[in-house]
Every structure is written in C-alpha cells, then in structure tokens.
Chains A and B, each alone.
Chain A
Amino acid sequence: MARHKNPTLDRRKVVAEILKQRGDALVVAGLGAPTWDAAAAGDSPLNFYTWGGMGGAAMIGLGLALAQPKRRVIVITGDGELLMGLGSLATIAVQQPRNLALIVLDNERYGETGMQDTHTRFGVDLAGMAKAAGFRASGTVYSAARLKNWIPRFHRQAGPVFCDIKVTSQPAPMVLPVRDGPTLRNRFREALLGAAEACQ
C-alpha cells in the first residue's frame, strides 16, 4: 500500500473552486458532508443532493450521464460513500461515459458517525482502483496546485474521469439544503427538462 501522507486541503474551498466553473453541469452530491459542501458552494436546482442511499451516488451519476450525453455530470461524494459501492467503478468503466466525472472528497473518515477511520486511512487507493477498472483519467490530489490542474479536466476531459482529493478531517459548519425527496427531484427535472416533463 502507498505510504500515508497527511491531507491538507479544505473540503469547502475545494468544492467551491470546482463548482465555480460548473457552467450548466449536473451535480450529484453523496450523502453527508459532500451534500453540505455542495450546498455551501451555492444552491442550484441542478444539484441532486442525496440524504440516503449510501453507495449509490456514482450510479446515479452514470444513469444521468447516459440519459444526458451532451451535459457534463459531476458526482461529488465521500470516501465512505464510494467504498460502499466500489463495484460501480467497474460498471461505469464498462459504459465509458465521456461526460462523467467522479470526485471523491477523501478525508479518510466516516465523518457523520464519529470520525472513524475508513479504509483509505490505511492506504486503500481509490484512484488506483478506478484506473484499474478502466477510467480514462484517474488521480489522487494532495495540493492546491495539483487541484488547479485537475479542475479543467473535471469539466472538459473525456470521461470517465476519477479524482480522489485528499481533504482534512476538520469539520465544516453544516449547510443543509432541501431534504424532501420529491422537491429535489421535481426541481431538478424542471430545470433540466422543463416544467411539462418534470412531473411526468
């Protein structure tokens, strides 16, 4: 396993930097802190915040990317959330969606349940797994300089793109977005497909 380095990046700043350049991208946020981070960066009806369904964020991103091949789809999730759905790396790689970027905010902790170590704390290499599965681009980011190089790739490089961004386990203030499921799905579909389609 890779030698362990201490993460230094701040998750809120990372997500704000990434989403500042989102354009009309569709964003899926994994449950827990990534949902709070995406909300803190600025609410949008094109954000689908998950509050449950742990392990499903990447696959929601795949279904969306296949349905909307002309739109960029960005999944922002956590290391614990992705670890629960690791098989989805293989499933996404088989489909090769060119418009999908999967970003993990890796604080090496289960942040919502008492900051227990996740497998990545012991060196499990998520970017290595994504690369081995067949993602077109995959990497691990520890520094602001490297992040700056990666951000354009999240938005433009032919996918599937995977990036594990090592962030500190410093808790950020909770920013809670809408949590009612039907409201979240209706506003997303209305913004993407138009009012006539939204409730069909």
Chain B
Amino acid sequence: MQKRVESQVTSHESRNSGSWPDDIHGVLAGMGVKQVGYVPDSGHARLINLVRADRGMRAIPLTTEEEGVALAVGAWLGGERSALLMQSSGAGNCINMLGMVNECRVPLLALVTMRGHWGEFNPWQVPMSQATVPALEAIGVVVHPVDRAAEVSEVVAAAARLAFNTCRMVAVLISQRVVGAKAFK
C-alpha cells in the first residue's frame, strides 16, 4: 500500500515536472505582473519564453540582477507589479540594492533557480549556493524553498501574495532537484 502511494506521487511528480514553468507563468499572469526582469538561467528558459510571448507582460533582459531590483522599485512606484528571475549566483549581486527595497517597503517577488547543490558538477557554483539563503535573509528577504515540481505553483502563488499584500521582499528558491543539474557534455 505504502509503495503504491509512493509510486502514485512519483508518477504525478514526473507528469508535472515539465510544466512548472507554465504554472509559474499562470500565477504571474493571475497576479497581474506586468514587468519581468531576468538574467537567464537554463532553469528559467521556458518561463522566459512564455513571458516573452505574453503580450500582457514585458520581458526585460538585465545585464546584472541588481538592475532588476531597482527596476522593481520603479515599476511599483509607477503602479505596476513586477517579478525578477535569476539563478542563485545572481542573489549575491543584489544585496545592497535590496537594502533600498527593504527600507522603502517595496514588494519584490524573486524567482531563483538554484545552482551549486543537488547533483552539481561545477565546484565554482557551490559557494554562492551555500550563501544564497543566509545572504538573502540577512538583508531581509523572506525565503520560500521548493524542492518538488508539483509544489512550485502553490509556493510561487503564496510568495506573490505575501510580497504584494504585505509589501515585502520574497524569494522562491527552486531546487536543482526540480530544475535538473546542468549536464556538462
């Protein structure tokens, strides 16, 4: 019996594992997010394409993640909601700019795909991966980790409500277990 439940969960998970970016896109659209800043990550590749194809959203490629933090302040001052897509290496690039967001109580929704842990091949990715949660928390970001594809949509929706309803910085950290480790071949 126990085994059957597990296998159902597993098959449910695998059925959904490919569609979580679509789920996130649906949540962002439903929350009225209009500006989406991003520094590409392979984990966000599909979501970036969905945002670019959505005429109700503006996709804004950034040269570094902290640009997206300042962009979110401007968007919200102007009455628009935004989201920021990055990989975990980018979290470190944002820290001082997040201080402005913290002081001004601007809602910030960051969706971070993790590198440098689950099954990682590249040792240079590991230090920032280890530092991501403590660094974000130190500057005042509420961190919601998610490590199952089936839960991504629910966690992103909760994070978006928390960010926009309470004017807080919230980051969803999407595990490499969901995204898949980068294959070096």
Contact = CB atoms under 8 A, between A and B. Distances in A.
Interface of B: 34-35, 58, 60-64, 66-80, 82, 96-97, 99-100, 103-106
Contacts, number: 119
Chain B residues touching A, majority SS: helix
A94 B64 CA distance: 14
A64 B74 contact: yes
Given A94-B61, A185-B105, A54 B96 contact: yes
A85 B94 CA distance: 12
A57 interface: yes
B63 A63 contact: no
A182 B106 CA distance: 8
A188 interface: yes
Given A52-B103, A56-B69, A66 B75 contact: yes
A6 interface: no
A124 interface: no
Interface of A: 26, 28, 48, 50, 52-68, 85, 87-88, 90-91, 94-95, 181-182, 184-185, 188-189, 192-193, 197
A95 B68 CA distance: 13
A115 B60 CA distance: 35
Closest 3 CB pairs of A and B: A63-B74, A67-B78, A87-B63
B34 to A, nearest CB: 7
Contacts of A189: 77, 79
Contacts of A50: 100
Contacts of A55: 66, 70, 97
B74 A65 contact: yes
A88 B63 contact: yes
B105 A52 contact: no
Contact of B66 (A48, A56, A184, A192): A56
Contact of A182 (B34, B77, B96, B104): B104
A132 to B, nearest CB: 14
A90 B63 contact: yes
Contacts of B106: 185
B61 to A, nearest CB: 6
Contact of B73 (A54, A60, A65): A60
B71 A62 contact: yes
B79 A91 contact: no
A64 B78 contact: yes
Contacts of B68: 59
Given A52-B100, A63-B72, A67-B34, A192 B67 contact: no
